């Protein structure tokens, strides 16, 4: 088997990322985060496109340099086709098309959501790959989905959020508490020192495997407003307990649906991905579920859970093996299903 070298480019949201893979192994994985958005409390699409435009060449250069690969050695270029912000996607796809054309090598289009799922197939020491079929829980600032994965390109969304993503639930709750954006990691930090049962928030009633998080945010807002009338220092005095209770509620919402998904599909292998899978409470709960319910859970290396290009590269590698290539007339798509 000849070695395959893939350059992968990810630019769907606010991170400009490039990676080099040698078959299923990551040689380099470079991400330029756009900190500009923090002061706005969320991603500003126009600013994201401009920053991608500035970052893309240096990021690709850095990926090649760190991998110690010459561009002439590349077998193909993979890029994120969607879903994502159109202006952001266009920067990555235009760059990938031009470079593939210049080097006269194949171009590969990758679905960002499939990439989050297939990130589990990146070869890493001490990380086991899931076996088909498995369930993938993809949780980030932009996504909340349960996916039944039967094969590399045979996957089906069996549950998803009907409003906010779980990362937004963390970030919006944090904002109510006066914490800076993105507040998810801070809620996690304070939650570790608090009592998860201190306060009770009602869980949404959503049928089937779908999720809803916007009601929780409103419940927290009203709760905090009411408590502040009684005691203006309520948040400061109870921050750890509030964060622990919010996190506990979110974890229960996720676990209720996962349990239902396992019951409905009979599949007990669960692989998680997306930025929120960094959450220590979620990780611990899933680890405990292995003993409690006989599940087998997979959590990839942290750098492969948030938006990154290595996950685009592993899909690119699979598509290279299948010879699934695109012409340069391929278009970016803000929305795509699998």
| Strand order from edge to edge, sheet including 134-139 | 154-160, 144-151, 134-139, 269-273, 296-298
Site string for ligand KG4, 278-317 (x = CB under 6 A): xx--------------------------xx----------
With CB under 6 A as the rule, give the number of residues binding ligand KG4.
18
User: 81: number of CA atoms within 13 Å, CB side?
Assistant: 21
Contacts of 48 (CB under 8 A, 6+ apart): 13, 14, 34, 37, 85, 87, 88
Task: Pick one of ligand KG4, Zn ion, none as the site partner of residue 275 (Cβ within 5 to 8 A by kind).
Answer: ligand KG4
SS3 252: helix
> Would the annotation count 14 as a binding residue?
no
Burial bucket for residue 252 (CB in 10 Å: 0-12, 13-18, 19+): middle
> Would the annotation count 138 as a binding residue?
yes
Interaction between residue 82 and ligand KG4 (CB under 6 A): no
Task: Estimate to the nearest angstrom the gap between the alpha carbon of 173 and the chain centroid.
Answer: 19
CA geometry: angle 334, 135, 216, nearest 5 deg: 65
How far apart are CB 142 and Zn ion at their closest, in Å?
A: 6
Interaction between residue 184 and ligand KG4 (CB under 6 A): yes
Task: Give me the residue whose beta carbon is nearest to Zn ion.
Answer: 307
Task: Pick one of ligand KG4, Zn ion, none as the site partner of residue 118 (Cβ within 5 to 8 A by kind).
Answer: none
> Would the annotation count 178 as a binding residue?
no
Site for Zn ion in 201-230 (CB under 5 A): none
Interaction between residue 326 and ligand KG4 (CB under 6 A): no
Contacts of 320 (CB under 8 A, 6+ apart): 4, 6, 75, 76, 106, 108
The correct pick among 10, 168, 188, 307 for binding Zn ion (CB under 5 A) is 307
CA distance 337 to 122: 23
How far apart are CB 160 and Zn ion at their closest, in Å?
A: 14
Binding part of the chain for ligand KG4, among 75-83, 192-200, 229-237, 269-277 by CB under 6 A, reads 269-277
Residue 162 in tokens? 């009907």
Interaction between residue 15 and Zn ion (CB under 5 A): no
Interaction between residue 245 and ligand KG4 (CB under 6 A): no
CA distance 243 to 199: 10
Task: Pick one of ligand KG4, Zn ion, none as the site partner of residue 10 (Cβ within 5 to 8 A by kind).
Answer: none
How far apart are CB 45 and Zn ion at their closest, in Å?
A: 15
Identify which of residues 133 and 185 has a Cβ nearer to ligand KG4 in the complex: 185
Phi-psi region of 138 (alpha: psi -120 to 50; beta: other; left: phi over 0): beta
Interaction between residue 83 and ligand KG4 (CB under 6 A): no
211, 162 in Cβ contact below 8 A? yes
Detail the residues annotated as belonging to a binding site for substrate.
138-142, 171, 184, 188, 279
**Site of interaction with Zn ion (CB under 5 A):** 140, 307
**Site of interaction with ligand KG4 (CB under 6 A):** 13, 140-142, 167, 170-171, 182, 184-185, 188, 274-276, 278-279, 306-307
């Amino acid at each position: 088997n000849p070695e395959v070298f893939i350059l992968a480019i990810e630019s769907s949201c606010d991170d400009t990322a490039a990676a080099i893979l040698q078959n299923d192994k990551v040689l380099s994985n470079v991400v330029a985060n756009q900190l500009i958005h923090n002061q706005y409390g969320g991603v500003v699409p126009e600013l994201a496109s401009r920053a991608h435009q500035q970052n893309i060449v240096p990021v690709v250069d850095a990926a090649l340099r760190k991998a110690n690969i010459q561009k002439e050695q590349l077998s193909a270029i993979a890029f994120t086709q969607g879903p994502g912000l159109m202006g952001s996607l266009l920067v990555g796809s235009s760059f990938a098309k031009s470079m593939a054309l210049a080097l006269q090598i194949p171009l590969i289009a990758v679905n960002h959501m499939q990439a989050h799922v297939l990130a589990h197939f990146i070869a890493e020491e001490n990380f086991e790959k899931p076996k088909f079929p498995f369930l993938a829980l993809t949780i980030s600032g932009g996504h909340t989905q349960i996916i039944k994965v039967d094969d590399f390109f045979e996957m089906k969304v069996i549950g998803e959020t009907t409003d906010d993503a779980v990362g937004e639930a963390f970030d919006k709750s944090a904002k109510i508490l006066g914490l800076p954006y993105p507040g998810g990691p801070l809620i996690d930090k304070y939650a570790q020192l608090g009592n998860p049962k201190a306060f009770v928030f009602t869980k949404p009633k959503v049928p089937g495997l779908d999720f809803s998080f916007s009601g929780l945010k409103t419940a927290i807002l009203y709760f905090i407003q009411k408590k502040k009338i009684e005691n203006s220092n309520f948040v400061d005095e109870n921050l750890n307990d509030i964060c622990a209770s919010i996190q506990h509620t979110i974890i229960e919402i996720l676990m209720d649906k996962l349990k239902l998904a396992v019951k409905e599909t009979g599949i007990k292998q669960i692989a998680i991905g997306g930025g929120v899978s960094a959450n220590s409470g979620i990780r611990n709960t899933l680890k405990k579920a292995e003993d409690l319910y006989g599940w087998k859970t997979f959590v990839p290396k942290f750098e492969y859970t948030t938006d990154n290009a290595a996950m685009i590269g592993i899909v690119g590698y699979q598509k290279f093996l299948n010879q699934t290539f695109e012409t340069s007339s391929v278009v970016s798509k803000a929305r795509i299903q699998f």
